[in-house]
Amino acid sequence: MLTPEAIIAVIGSGTMGAGIAQVAAGAGHRVWLYDIQPGAAKRAIDGIATALSARVAKGKLDEASKLATVARLHAAEKLADLADVGLVIEAAAEQIDIKQAIFRDLAAICSPDAVFASNTSSISITALASGIENPERVAGLHFFNPAPVMKLVEIVSGLETSPVVAGQLSELALRWGKQPVSCQSTPGFIVNRVARPYYAEAWRALEEQVAPAAVIDAALREGAGFPMGPLALTDLIGQDVNFAVTCSVFNAFWQERRFLPSLAQQELVLGKRLGKKTGQGVYRWPLDAQPEYQSGQPDDNAAKQVMKTGKTLELDEVLVAVTCGITATALSAELKRPVVLRDKLADTSLEVLAASASVTSLQLAKVIHYFQQQGKRVLVIKDYPGMLVWRTVAMLANEALDALQKGVASEADIDTAMRLGVNYPQGPLAWGAKLGWQNVLTLLENLQHHYGEERYRPTSLLRQRALLENQHEH
């Protein structure tokens, strides 16, 4: 059914629906766009024509292609207009009863072979399919915003989804210039589930007043290579939207503690500080918040003795080490000497430091001076177990392992989804392997011990990988 000649119907002409219709028409399909609001589909088509004209003006598209794409788009007045379509892509409001009603109505109109796909980001595909004849033809086809630009499409199978249908949708996505990943229908699918710790750990650090928002964001941007800090990103997404997804995943997992929503974020939503769209969220927009890097110290603060051994560094009497999930103060008490911890995954131009209570301001100045002499910018945060970058990446890797262990998707698809769906610098599973599974495990065990919380519980697959890694090394 899903040949290049298949007629496509898109239900809902909002941002996502219009974007998907543009992708399908651009790939050569005749497309019907339907919206329950009279005139909305026609306005969406006009909007697509305007967007394509802008691409022509920039030299990114030729006029003939634009005209051909727009000519393939048709506004449907009524659902009956969609009788001969091969694929329906539903992009209506995120409410299960609305989506089920649309599929029920279309099941009575379309051919029994027509494929029904939903662009839902959070509703069970199994539930959407349960109310109609031939539920095996229902799947998720989850595009990312903006649909014409973002490469990733999650192909989601419910309990009844036919593997043939899922395969046809994957082939179709490839023909449309997209990168499909396959997953099972579970809360959040791949991306919206595995990405939760990226936001959650930043909110926790903000709530515990570890550092200002701009410092937390800079640590993850410059210290780990994420394209945008988590707090600025929630402002861009919309605090209401990001908070709703977190709540949805949290409730769908029976209040699993690692998905716990943030009270600080809820407060912003209640105060209508929704981020960029309202002019204020975590930040004031337009965004110009810069972190305060530590200023340089004169040379008389330089350490007299510098010793490097493996991952540790001794500057006079201060031990400088990479975080392993315990606080600098706890390590200092154990070693009976002043300790400064580094939040370091790789060699970047940024050093994030946290000092034990026993470190004097002069000693800290010497450590800062040492890293500035190496050409690094330095941020200092409060003493915090696992710090910012390490604990975030460890939690992302742990969540990805949990999804893998539970058969949500393959290892390759999970990593591809996180790179293309949210632009992570590396897939979390490849990243975990690179950092060392034993290091990730130690960090999480230390966090779990520090907080006494389920939230940091390592998955059994993480324990297994750490064991295998240790065996290979010996």
Catalytic residue IDs: 121, 142, 154, 192
- Cβ atoms within 10 Å of 258's Cβ, excluding its own: 19
* Spatial contact of 379 and 291, defined as CB atoms under 8 Å apart: yes
421 contacts: CB under 8 Å, gap ≥ 6 = 144, 150, 152, 154, 190, 191, 195
- Cβ atoms within 10 Å of 68's Cβ, excluding its own: 13
99 contacts: CB under 8 Å, gap ≥ 6 = 90, 92, 118, 120, 123, 128
Characterize the bridge pairing of strands 306-309 and 179-184.
unpaired
Q: Which of 339, 335, 344 has its CA nearest to residue 367?
A: 339
Amino acid at 126: T
Characterize the bridge pairing of strands 87-90 and 350-355.
unpaired
Tokens of residue 97, six digits: 């009863």
135 contacts: CB under 8 Å, gap ≥ 6 = 129, 158, 160, 161
Tokens of residue 106, six digits: 């279309």
Detail the DSSP E strand segments found in 70-150.
73-76, 87-90, 115-118, 138-143
Tokens of residue 349, six digits: 């131009």
Amino acid at 236: L
* Spatial contact of 154 and 190, defined as CB atoms under 8 Å apart: yes
- Cβ atoms within 10 Å of 130's Cβ, excluding its own: 15
Q: Which of 128, 126, 175, 129 has its CA nearest to residue 153?
A: 175
Dihedral sign (CA 78, 79, 82, 83): negative
Cα–Cα–Cα angle for 403, 388, 303, rounded to 5 degrees: 140
Dist CA 291 CA 287 (whole Å): 12
- Cβ atoms within 10 Å of 99's Cβ, excluding its own: 24
Tokens of residue 48, six digits: 């697509």
* Spatial contact of 175 and 48, defined as CB atoms under 8 Å apart: no
